[in-house]
């Protein structure tokens, strides 16, 4: 299975950019605000724009039978250290930066032999768009891990991902509780 992916970074040693603090290897994004850490940063190595996600507690999952067993049981989860998460999925130019910075990177090592659509995508033989603003597609788990290791980033945990998707709401979905609105 291929992945489209987001990454996140946690606080590390900080520097002061104007009056905003930013983690190491990042700079405050243009127009960033904040009462301490910048609410938006740019990851220097990749160019990825990242948004600060507030720390907090939320109910992960649900006991509602209509949502299926994959989300049960509901449990309280606390995100104690506010992470930065990508504003968008990792895009084609961000991935190309990785490929350009690693000319000896052997994509064959990281690609599942039964799943080589990633290589086809970057050779222009994919039905998916390779335009700059589009997310990189057909990425294997191995490609994702290699990109993250190079960038000094990591894939968000399921809890951080769900917390960010909820957007500080307390409903089953970021838009409310009505499953009919999922479309």
Q: 99: cis peptide before it, omega within 30°?
A: no
pLDDT tens profile 50-106: 999 999 998 887 777 776 666 778 889 999 999 999 999 998 888 888 888 988 887
Tell me how far apart the alpha carbons of residues 80 and 72 are, in angstroms, rounded to a whole number: 22
pLDDT tens profile 29-43: 999 998 889 999 999
Q: Which two structure tokens, joined as six digits, stand for 34? A: 């904040």
Tell me how far apart the alpha carbons of residues 183 and 181 are, in angstroms, rounded to a whole number: 5
Asked if 27 and 17 count as a contact pair (C-beta separation under 8 A), the reply is yes
Q: Which residue ranges make up each domain of the chain?
A: 8-62+70-167
Q: Which two structure tokens, joined as six digits, stand for 63? A: 């006991």
Residue with the larger pLDDT of the pair 39 and 167: 39
The answer for residues whose C-beta is within 8 angstroms of residue 81's C-beta and 6 or more apart is: 10, 11, 55
Q: Which two structure tokens, joined as six digits, stand for 149? A: 């290791």
Average pLDDT, the chain: 79
The number of CA neighbours under 13 Å toward the Cβ of 133 is 0
pTM, rounded to two decimals = 0.73
Smallest CA-to-CA distance from 155 within 44, 40, 26, 4 is with 4
Burial call 155-176: b when 16+ CB within 10 Å, e when fewer: bbeeebebbbebeeeeebbeee
Residue with the larger pLDDT of the pair 6 and 101: 101
Backbone angles phi, psi at 82, to 5 degrees: -65, 120
Q: What is the CA radius of gyration of the chain?
A: 18
| Residue 37 neighbours by CB distance under 10 Å | 18
pLDDT tens profile 103-142: 888 766 666 655 556 556 656 666 566 667 888 877 778 8
């Amino acid at each position: 299975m291929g992945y489209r992916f987001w990454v996140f970074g946690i606080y590390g040693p900080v520097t002061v950019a104007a009056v905003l603090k930013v983690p190491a290897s990042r700079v405050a994004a243009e127009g960033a605000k904040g009462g301490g850490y910048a609410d938006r940063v740019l990851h220097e190595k990749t160019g990825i724009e990242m948004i600060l996600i507030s720390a907090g507690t939320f109910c992960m999952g649900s006991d509602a039978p209509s949502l299926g067993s994959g989300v049960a049981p509901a449990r309280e989860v606390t995100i104690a250290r506010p992470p930065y998460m990508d504003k968008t999925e990792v895009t084609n130019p961000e991935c190309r930066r990785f490929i350009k910075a690693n000319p000896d990177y052997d994509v064959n090592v990281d690609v599942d032999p039964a799943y080589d659509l990633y290589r086809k995508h970057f050779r222009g033989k994919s039905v998916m768009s390779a335009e700059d603003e589009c997310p990189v597609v057909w990425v294997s788990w191995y490609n994702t891990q290699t990109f993250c290791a190079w960038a000094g980033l990591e894939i968000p945990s399921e809890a951080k991902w769900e917390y960010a998707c909820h957007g500080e709401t307390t409903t089953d979905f970021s838009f409310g509780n009505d499953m009919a609105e999922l479309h």
